Structure 1
Amino acid sequence: MAYRTRLSLLILIDSIIVLTAVFFSRFIVSADIHVLTVPVIISSFTLLICHHIFSYIYKLYKKAWEYASIDELLMIMKAVTISIMTAGIVQEVAFHDVYFRLLAVTWMLHMLLIGGSRFCWRVYRDTLIRRTTNKKRTLIIGAGAAGTMVARQLKNNREAELHPVAFIDDSKRKQNLDIMGLPVVGGVPQIALAVENLNIDNIVIAIPSLKKKELNRIFQECGKTSAKTKILPMLEDLVTGKISVSQFRDVQVEDLLGREPIKLDIGSISEYIEGRTVLVTGAGGSIGSEICRQISKFHPKKLILLGHGENSIYSIEMELNELYKDKSIEFITEIAELQDLNKMNHVMSKHLPHVVYHAAAHKHVPLMERNPEEAIKNNLIGTRNAAQAASWNGVETFVMVSTDKAVNPTSVMGATKRLAEMVIQHMDTVSDTRFVAVRFGNVLGSRGSVIPLFTKQIQNGGPVTVTHPDMIRYFMTIPEASRLVIQAGALADGGEIFVLDMGDPVKIVDLAKNLIILSGNSIEDIEIEFTGIRPGEKLFEELLQEEEVHEEQIYPKIYIGKKSELLIEDIEELLLSYPHLTSQELREKLLELANRRPAAKELLSVPG
């Protein structure tokens, strides 16, 4: 009913406009009050009929004129011009004469009145939006295709909370110009000045293809202001229609990593996971649960979720069953302790997995300094048990999750992970199973990482505690860490330690400042307190020891380290004697063993 009413109204208005244009044109051309002549009447009805026909053909009655633009103006021009030309042809046929002056003036009045009637509605609507809504003044970063789309959407959407005021763009060609009626007021260095001068409440970063280093630079400038910063969704989400260009999201700390994420070789991963049985230890943990999510995308036949915490295993099982209830994936849970070799062997022999991802570990540095025997039990003995059980039961590939803290370790946790790497590399030499380790830096948002701690401290009003102003770390996201582990299994020949090119390390204090800004606070609002380096911590972490460095990437962003002396006899001796050592003696023994340097002639290069 609403459509019919609208259509009838438009036809009536257009009919009045067409007749008015003809009769006014006759009066203007002839200055004669007797405008109703036979040629004029015939021309009027011809023009009226043609206008409605061509308006229908060009769908002028279906246009949403509140969003009118150049395209709609061109459609009006085509309909009016063809209608006038048809009227001229009728005049030639009926009267053997064409009233060119009359038709020319009629065309101009027709265009003015038809076009004006449409665009008046848009002007009225835009004016109404500005008057009746209290919108937040918004600065758009990027005056390219995405930025202009954002500006158009915000200007046309009455429900939008944001009102675009100006653009920022580094292109000198665009600066000092008006785009979409909005001025381009400068480049990124002028963000703070623009926010102050234009009373900006919100900033929208509208460059979907932006590199992370450049995003970090822009965010640092935005952080100098009190405006709330948001970012356009990812380009693929816009293209696939998952979300619209006006649905912004907050900038997240993951966006500010100084490198681009690695991309997976989907084909090679599918080949060794699809339709097969996969087991994940520590499946309830941050990394383990994400490995399970990522693996499930490749449709294994069975996925065994192994862990010692029943609540976390239950949670990931429920989540996966819900996500993949329409897929033929069998999710099986096993509650088991890694230190129990018989149990690990029983699980492996019952399910006979093709691939094992070993993500279970104690990883909290200060806690393991105080409990070194527990670090040995879980990180070293647990890894050896899982590896032996895998070897005995014909597992094809075993991937251990390691850490950059295993390089030149200064902590119990790092030392036990380094010795576990040696166990894995030794197992590869005595087993048909391919054993590899994957080494990466800190994982954003994982349990025990600084992000949840900083977030909680910020919510409580501070202070945010940082151990040292110069402390730096490599960072990656949980999904990225999990993808690296899965990719390593596809690349494995056996015996390798895979290392991700993690770009530039991040200062912990800068990370804290970014989180404070992302939370909507300023650096002045939340205090940063330096508490001193904790036992076992280093100012910086390394990904490879000097003698391990292997220059070539075997896959984009992934390196492998050279194999060093494995010290297996010393490790076995330690495992026999550790119950009789004090915590301090055990810590010293672990660090001495993990940091022992082999002679250069003993170094072996890993094949592949």
Structure 2
Amino acid sequence: MRNFRNILQFATRDIRRYVDIAVLGAASQLAIILTFIGSGPSFDRSKLPPSAFLILFSLITLWPFLVRGRAWRLVSAYDAIRLAKGVTLTTLGFIAVYVTSYFNIHFLQWILFNSLFSLVGLCGVRIARRLVFERKNRKANVTGRRTLILGTGVPACSLAARFTREPALGIRLVGFITDDSKSIGSKIEGVNVLGGIENFEQILTDNQVQELVISQKFPDGARLRDLLQKAHRLGIRPKIMAHLNFGETGHAGVETLREINLSDLLLRPRVDVDLKPTYRLVQGQTVLVTGAGGSIGQELVRQLVRMNPRQILLLDQAEYNLYAIDSEIKEMGLSSQVIPILSDLREVTLLQQLFNLYRPNLVFHAAAYKHVHLVEANANASILNNITSTKNLLDACIKYQVENFVMISSDKAVNPQGIMGATKRACEMLVSHAGEVENRNYCSVRFGNVIGSSGSFIPLLKKQIHNGGPVTITHPDMERYFMLIPEAVSLVLKTASMSQPGDINILKMGEPIKILDVVKSLMTLMGKKQDEVPLIFTGMRPGEKMKEELYLSRNEIQTTHPDIVVLPKGAQLPGIHNSFGESVLTIERIIDLARSGSKDASSLLHQLVESQDQSSLQLSKGDSRGNTKTPQLVA
């Protein structure tokens, strides 16, 4: 029984080959007839090879192109090109026979006719099969969910082809909508382009659309937010093609669709970052990433591992986070490049042993306490973790002559109101001082909130909205900068290849966004109306600011990348060496006070930051005397 089934399957599968043989035979005979008609009484059949030879020769030369093609119901222009190549090969073979054995005008005419009829016939039967298949599927899709595709580009075409060919998906494609006026009125996969985005709601209503798929990118999130709100008013929850994230590509299909998320709505115009200089810096080197288990640290590792380093040292004090990123990289087949290190940067001896053993060439320092209210409630512990760790790491880098060091800073380091921002500012001072004194490319990178980080408030807001509220917001006018993690990390990596000793690099993050607007966008995403979820304004907590700042003096210098500016800490700010030298001594005093549990550590830290920033402001204004006096600190 099994053998009979196998024979039946083989015979069924070979029906296409029988059709091809019939097509080639018919093409050969039709070519003979037309050659006879064209030649008249002078035609001599003996001047042509036997018909069996002609058909067999065509079949042999075309066979590889016939058996390797895709299923006829999925035939495309690609298959037509393949068949054209096969027919061309067959034609060249016949011409060789013509030159060597049958050198006459009748055979040459036959060759031309046969080539034309063979190509038309072989393509024709395949196209006919596809048309029958698609017609059958359209009838089957009549009961599917009425779906509209926004966009008419290549992704939309691929998606439409999948929808029309797979009735099991349960999708009935009713049309397309586009912002390309030239496409309106045309057809894609036999389905109409119904109109422009300006008639978005009317088109959805008139065509009783139940599903909306977005297949095109928008320059920013504002237009997408508007379309999403309009769709929600009609009870439609749009989906977006998953590969629209950061230019990644994938096969069009229902498995590539995903829900729209907050990153899509807050997306700034795409930032293109040329990382070739960084690739050359990282390739073949040993790279240390501290805080490798955190959100920024993990993305740093993901991008660095693609740059072919000799090895990456993943350092973190959180066991599970370190395990997670180590496992992820090893699943990529790169276990030989990854060395997980469970350690604490405050342990000087362990840190020195690490540097002595692995001798890193580049260091990316992303380890820090960053939750503002927790840091504020545990000031001394945070001072020891953030500042002591950075100082110990810099000491090790200097001792073992590490050439490149990049520290992840924060917008909270500008005019800090709390301990978290003050510790980050102090760390910036340490990095700039080390870079200037050692004349090595030690720099800091300052940016705002990143969506999806472990310290993000987004999950809390989503939970509150899901539970029906109340949603707690500190103030209706509170603003924050936002950036996507991959984008921020790409810019961080860019700074590694372009910074000078002591620089503070600042990432341009576009315009700040009100937290209230973020909440409203989340409500829209979750299908909630704004009047359904109550809002409570709680007031600002200790250490918080109404608006975050990225710039200290507004005299920062533009770099070669449009989204990175720099606050230099070298020759462009005369006299800064002495100021930083005094600051380093004060930082050591702050660390001692924090170890002893003294509350004076926090007050001295704030005095240090305020005096240093005042000094930097005065110097950046260009004091002609070049002898700006640093304010005295009270310990």
Task: Name the TM tier (shorter chain).
Answer: 0.7 to 0.9
**Residues 79-94 of structure 1 aligned to structure 2 (within 5 Å):** none
Following superposition, the deviation at residue 359 of structure 1 comes to: 1.1
> 1:525-566: per-residue Cα shift (whole Å, max 9, x none)?
54444333222212221211125522x223242221133654
Query: 2:431 aligns to what?
Result: 424
In the superposition, the TM-score normalised over structure 1's length comes to: 0.76
CA contact (8 A) 1:391 1:433 kept: no
Residue 557 (structure 1) aligned to one of 555, 560, 563: 563
In the alignment, structure 1 residue 590 sits paired with structure 2 residue 598: no
Could you tell me which amino acid in structure 1 is paired with residue 252 of structure 2?
Answer: S
Q: Please give the alpha-carbon distance, in whole angstroms, between the structure 2 residues aligned to 1:574 and 1:390.
A: 22
Following superposition, the deviation at residue 377 of structure 1 comes to: 0.9
Determine what percentage of the aligned residue pairs are the same residue.
32
In the superposition, the TM-score normalised over structure 2's length comes to: 0.73
> 1:10-31: per-residue Cα shift (whole Å, max 9, x none)?
979999xx99xxxxxxxxxxxx
> 1:327-373: per-residue Cα shift (whole Å, max 9, x none)?
x425141412x333343333323332211211111111111122221
Following superposition, the deviation at residue 438 of structure 1 comes to: 0.9
Query: 2:461 aligns to what?
Result: 454
Query: 2:31 aligns to what?
Result: none
**Residues 159-238 of structure 1 aligned to structure 2 (within 5 Å):** 159-175=168-184, 179-207=188-216, 210-213=217-220, 215-225=221-231, 226-234=235-243
Q: 1:162–1:466: structure 2 CA closer, same or farther, 3 Å change rule?
A: farther
**Residues 17-416 of structure 1 aligned to structure 2 (within 5 Å):** 66=73, 121-122=132-133, 124-131=135-142, 134-175=143-184, 179-207=188-216, 210-213=217-220, 215-225=221-231, 226-234=235-243, 242-246=250-254, 247-325=256-334, 328-336=336-344, 338-416=345-423
Q: Please give the alpha-carbon distance, in whole angstroms, between the structure 2 residues aligned to 1:14 and 1:303.
A: 60
> 1:159-185: per-residue Cα shift (whole Å, max 9, x none)?
223322122212333345555444434
Q: Please give the alpha-carbon distance, in whole angstroms, between the structure 2 residues aligned to 1:325 and 1:206.
A: 33
Q: 1:562–1:175: structure 2 CA closer, same or farther, 3 Å change rule?
A: same
CA contact (8 A) 2:343 2:350 kept: no
Q: Please give the alpha-carbon distance, in whole angstroms, between the structure 1 residues aligned to 2:410 and 2:552.
A: 13
Q: Please give the alpha-carbon distance, in whole angstroms, between the structure 1 residues aligned to 2:313 and 2:16.
A: 67
Could you tell me which amino acid in structure 2 is paired with residue 574 of structure 1?
Answer: I
CA contact (8 A) 1:472 1:505 kept: yes
Residue 495 (structure 1) aligned to one of 484, 494, 502: 502
Q: Which 10-residue stretch deviates more, 394-403 or 177-186? A: 177-186
Q: Secondary structure at the match of 1:409?
A: coil
Q: Secondary structure at the match of 2:364?
A: strand
Following superposition, the deviation at residue 413 of structure 1 comes to: 0.6
Q: Please give the alpha-carbon distance, in whole angstroms, between the structure 2 residues aligned to 1:401 and 1:407.
A: 14
Q: Which 10-residue stretch deviates more, 537-546 or 181-190? A: 181-190
Following superposition, the deviation at residue 65 of structure 1 comes to: 6.1
In the alignment, structure 1 residue 571 sits paired with structure 2 residue 577: no
How many corresponding residue pairs? Answer: 538
Q: Please give the alpha-carbon distance, in whole angstroms, between the structure 1 residues aligned to 2:56 and 2:141.
A: 34
> 1:166-214: per-residue Cα shift (whole Å, max 9, x none)?
222123333455554444343323323333333322211122xx2441x
CA contact (8 A) 1:138 1:165 kept: yes
> 1:446-481: per-residue Cα shift (whole Å, max 9, x none)?
112122223333444444333222222222222333
In the alignment, structure 1 residue 602 sits paired with structure 2 residue 619: yes
Following superposition, the deviation at residue 576 of structure 1 comes to: 4.0
Structure 2 residues without counterparts, runs of 5 or longer: 1-7, 27-53, 88-120, 623-635
> 1:23-49: per-residue Cα shift (whole Å, max 9, x none)?
xxxxxxxxxxxxxxxxxxxxxxxxxxx
Q: Please give the alpha-carbon distance, in whole angstroms, between the structure 2 residues aligned to 1:70 and 1:273.
A: 43
RMSD: 4.2
Q: Please give the alpha-carbon distance, in whole angstroms, between the structure 1 residues aligned to 2:301 and 2:364.
A: 9
Q: Please give the alpha-carbon distance, in whole angstroms, between the structure 2 residues aligned to 1:274 and 1:71.
A: 39
Q: Please give the alpha-carbon distance, in whole angstroms, between the structure 2 residues aligned to 1:180 and 1:280.
A: 50
Query: 1:84 aligns to what?
Result: none
Query: 1:40 aligns to what?
Result: none
Could you tell me which amino acid in structure 2 is paired with residue 329 of structure 1?
Answer: Q
Q: Which 10-residue stretch deviates more, 390-399 or 217-226? A: 217-226
Q: Please give the alpha-carbon distance, in whole angstroms, between the structure 1 residues aligned to 2:134 and 2:357.
A: 73
CA contact (8 A) 2:322 2:340 kept: no
Q: Secondary structure at the match of 2:520?
A: helix
CA contact (8 A) 1:302 1:329 kept: yes
Q: Please give the alpha-carbon distance, in whole angstroms, between the structure 2 residues aligned to 1:341 and 1:556.
A: 39
Q: Secondary structure at the match of 1:163?
A: strand
Q: 1:503–1:147: structure 2 CA closer, same or farther, 3 Å change rule?
A: same
Q: Secondary structure at the match of 1:186?
A: strand
Q: Secondary structure at the match of 1:344?
A: helix
Q: Please give the alpha-carbon distance, in whole angstroms, between the structure 2 residues aligned to 1:556 and 1:511.
A: 26
Q: Please give the alpha-carbon distance, in whole angstroms, between the structure 1 residues aligned to 2:270 and 2:388.
A: 33
Q: 1:67–1:128: structure 2 CA closer, same or farther, 3 Å change rule?
A: farther
CA contact (8 A) 1:11 1:52 kept: no
Q: Please give the alpha-carbon distance, in whole angstroms, between the structure 2 residues aligned to 1:473 and 1:505.
A: 5
CA contact (8 A) 2:318 2:342 kept: no
Could you tell me which amino acid in structure 2 is paired with residue 331 of structure 1?
Answer: I
Q: Secondary structure at the match of 2:195?
A: coil
Q: Secondary structure at the match of 2:230?
A: coil
